[in-house]
Structure 1
Amino acid sequence: MRLALAVLMIVLPQRLKHLLARHVLKWDVDPTAYIGRSLVMVRKVTLGPGSSIGPMNIIRDLEELRLGEGASIATRNRIAGIPLASTVFQKPNRNPSLVLGDYAMITVAHELDCSDLIELKEYAVVAGFRCSILTHNLNLVKDRFESKPVVLGARSVVMSNCTLLSSSVPDRSIISAGSVVTTPLTTNLTLYRGNPAEAVRSLPESLKFFHRVGLQAQIADEVAALKKETLQGEV
């Protein structure tokens, strides 16, 4: 039944998607949120005002998916958790969820392992293409899988083809394309680069990326474009 409802959500027009989401699946979906043609198999979903899930995403086996105001997941992303009932992990308080703060964004063709929590604070961005974010690892000493949350700080950005391994990114920092983050980074306003990623230089607080406001119009344009694409496909 769960899979059938998820597939039905893909093909329904937007208005009926909202009705099914709110009244059958019991999701908390703002009337201005947009749900594209994506497979979403998540128990608890909250979509804030102006938030959007674009087409061709696969989002499954999460305890919770939460998008704040204006937050967005663009297209062709694979986001998967491991249910709490699984015996793979022994951690009692694991939280296989994805949380996007206000105006946070996941762009195109990324892989997110939500064995534990992945959280993007407000205005944080997983940018470009083909980033991998992993919240689990194999402890070779104990010969067992372990999990740890990954948090992207407010107004931080992870560029194309980066890998984050059970690590976090500080506020207003940039992870250069192709970098591998294996340990938690701690210094704000810093450019990190390399494998493993290391601090390269400080960043000016005046960088415009760190002061973005009023993204409502941009998000509205993106949602309108996605709606147009969906409506054309339904004709």
Structure 2
Amino acid sequence: MLRKLGITAIFFAGLLSTSALRRWLYVVFCGYEIHRDARIGRAYLDVRVLNVGAGAKIGDFTIVRNMNDVVLADLSHIGTFNWIYGDTSCKNFAHKADRVSSLKLGYGASITSRHIVDCTDKVEIGEFSIVAGYRSQLLTHSIDLKACRQDCAPIVVGRRSFVGTNCVILKGAVVPDKSIISASSVFAQTEEATPGQMWVGTPAVAVKKLDDELGFFGRQSPHIK
């Protein structure tokens, strides 16, 4: 409780301070590892272990709570008004002995704005991949209707993939490298699939092979002008 009160105090103090001061407060009082070239917006960060790399950014009014660990590799980005949450103690998932509430963004990966990321289990987003647009949901837990209990499984978004606006990625999903998930699709593929395809629909199915020379796949910078 005292720790959460401290994090809340840092958040409110940070509303009127600079990114550098917010970074200092989180490093000194929470023990987070935040590179001096990283930018921390007016974000609420309730994480046991936080590691933010060089040039990485967490935007204003993003809420990150009840997490075991969050890792942002160099030049990765979490935008504004995102809701990212985990569950570090719930007994409903006692049957998942290896469950960890964690979020890992690879080099140059990004989550844009106004998304919901459920990290009841692990979420990994590969290098140069983007959760784009608005209102997408990555959901690592749901009710197992057969067993009549809560269940969870990790979500993995492969390297250099694009998740369009308003998508739903369900628990256990594995998005292959160099995939495009079309806007408003529901992706539930858990078995290994061929990289470099476009996925469309509810549930999403692969509809065409993508050109490996697509500029998005080959870019060397995370920034798209």
TM range (shorter): over 0.9
Q: CA deviation at 1:42?
A: 0.8
Distance (whole Å) between structure 2 residues aligned to residue 189 and residue 60 of structure 1: 34
Distance (whole Å) between structure 2 residues aligned to residue 171 and residue 182 of structure 1: 15
Does the alignment pair 1:152 with 2:153?
A: no
Distance (whole Å) between structure 1 residues aligned to residue 44 and residue 142 of structure 2: 26
Match of 1:98 in 2: 103
Match of 1:230 in 2: none
Q: CA deviation at 1:19?
A: 2.1
For 1:88, give the aligned amino acid: N
Q: CA deviation at 1:3?
A: 2.5
Match of 2:180 in 1: 174
User: C-alpha offsets along residues 148-199 of structure 1, whole Å, 9 cap, x if unaligned?
Assistant: 1000000001000110111120000000001011222611010000001001
Distance (whole Å) between structure 1 residues aligned to residue 22 and residue 184 of structure 2: 37
For 1:169, give the aligned amino acid: V
Percent sequence identity over aligned pairs: 35
Does the alignment pair 1:57 with 2:58?
A: no
Q: CA deviation at 1:66?
A: 0.6
Report the TM-score, using the length of structure 2 for normalisation: 0.92
2:85 aligned to which of 80, 86, 99: 80
User: C-alpha offsets along residues 26-71 of structure 1, whole Å, 9 cap, x if unaligned?
Assistant: 1111000111001111111000000000001111001001100000
2:219 aligned to which of 209, 212, 218: 212
Distance (whole Å) between structure 1 residues aligned to residue 23 and residue 189 of structure 2: 40
For 2:112, give the aligned amino acid: T
Q: What do you get for the CA RMSD once the two structures are aligned?
A: 1.5
Choose 10-19 or 200-209, whichever is displaced more: 10-19
For 1:183, give the aligned amino acid: Q
Q: CA deviation at 1:8?
A: 3.2
Q: CA deviation at 1:207?
A: 0.3
SS in 1 for 2:21: helix
Q: CA deviation at 1:23?
A: 2.2
Match of 1:202 in 2: 209
Does the alignment pair 1:8 with 2:9?
A: yes
Match of 1:71 in 2: 76
Match of 1:35 in 2: 40
Number of paired residues? 217
1:116 aligned to which of 91, 112, 121: 121
For 1:197, give the aligned amino acid: A
1:21 aligned to which of 17, 26, 43: 26
Long gaps (5+) in structure 1: 222-235
Contact conserved, 2:55 with 2:76, CA < 8 A, in 1? yes
Match of 2:193 in 1: 186
SS in 2 for 1:65: strand
Distance (whole Å) between structure 1 residues aligned to residue 30 and residue 7 of structure 2: 9
Long gaps (5+) in structure 2: none
Distance (whole Å) between structure 2 residues aligned to residue 161 and residue 104 of structure 1: 18
Choose 175-184 or 114-123, whichever is displaced more: 175-184
Report the TM-score, using the length of structure 1 for normalisation: 0.88
